[in-house]
Amino acid sequence: MIAFISDIHSNTEALEAVLAEIEHLGVERVLCLGDVIGYGPEPRATLQRVIEVAEFSLRGNHEDGCMNYASDFNPKARAAIDWTRDQLNLRDQPREQNFAFWNYLASMPDEHREGVMLLVHGSPRDPIREYIVPKDAQDRAKLDGCFAKFGEARLCFVGHSHVPGVYPESGGYLPIRELPDGYLLADDRAIVNIGSVGQPRDGDPRACFATFDGERVRFHRVEYDHAATAAKIRAIESLPDYLADRLGQGR
Ligand code: ZN
């Protein structure tokens, strides 16, 4: 079984809760779809943990923004990115660790293809930046453009929007409350948004991740101490308070 994690956003409490559940489930492989960092208070600890447990992480828009100039982020998001970048360059931390972080960011692939699976952070046609959100279920041209990039794949796992659910090729959007038994890989190809570990935005503040056993995708929600993460964010002047507030609301 494979576990997919994404959009951890420097949230150690959420990541540790999810990793405990992954261990409990007896998962063999952990694959990360990007945005390990950004927004949250502990980029170094989070990145270190992902390096240890994940087979790889794809490049998210926050890693991309951290490595390059984050021109496409709004001013508040950019302030958080600039702070994150500084954290990965701290002079009072071992230089080798700083180098290891930057090397890891630089090595992140844009996409991963393996059997029936295609993995990207954003969308198949724009792997780092394009969002797929529930209203796109009505946008046939956009979905057709995405499915045209599938190649051999049957399922495309994405993150980025922080809203979990399934977009079958035949149309529509299935939120995870309509998928209590998960989503069975069938004739219909599908885009699967695995949700966000560290900043869920579907109204449910619990950390979200997904597993895949080769046939069925299951979604998992895990309680974590979001008040502790929020307190850490509020204690850092460069991180806007709304980044703390939203954790408790799941938006
Ligand atoms: Zn994200």
- pLDDT digits 0-9 by tens, 134-177: 999 999 999 999 999 999 999 999 999 999 999 999 999 999 99
Q: Which of 6, 11, 3 is nearest to 33 (CA)?
A: 6
Query: What three-state secondary structure class fits 138?
Result: helix
DSSP 206: S
Q: Residue 172 CA to chain centroid, in angstroms?
A: 22
The predicted pLDDT at position 69 comes to: 72
User: What is the Å distance from ligand 1's center to 77 Cα?
Assistant: 11
- Report the distance separating Cα 174 and Cα 200, nearest Å: 17
Q: Are 218 and 27 in contact (CB under 8 A)?
A: no
User: What is the Å distance from ligand 1's center to 160 Cα?
Assistant: 5
Q: Residue 86 CA to chain centroid, in angstroms?
A: 22
Q: Where are the domains of the chain?
A: 2-249
User: What is the Å distance from ligand 1's center to 162 Cα?
Assistant: 6
pTM listed for this prediction: 0.96
- pLDDT digits 0-9 by tens, 52-79: 999 999 999 999 999 987 677 788 778 8
**Which tokens hold the place of 223?**
């309680």
User: What is the Å distance from ligand 1's center to 4 Cα?
Assistant: 14
CATH class of segment(s) 2-249? alpha beta
Mean pLDDT of 16-41: 97
Q: Are 188 and 143 in contact (CB under 8 A)?
A: no
Q: Which of 155, 160, 151, 154 is nearest to 126 (CA)?
A: 160
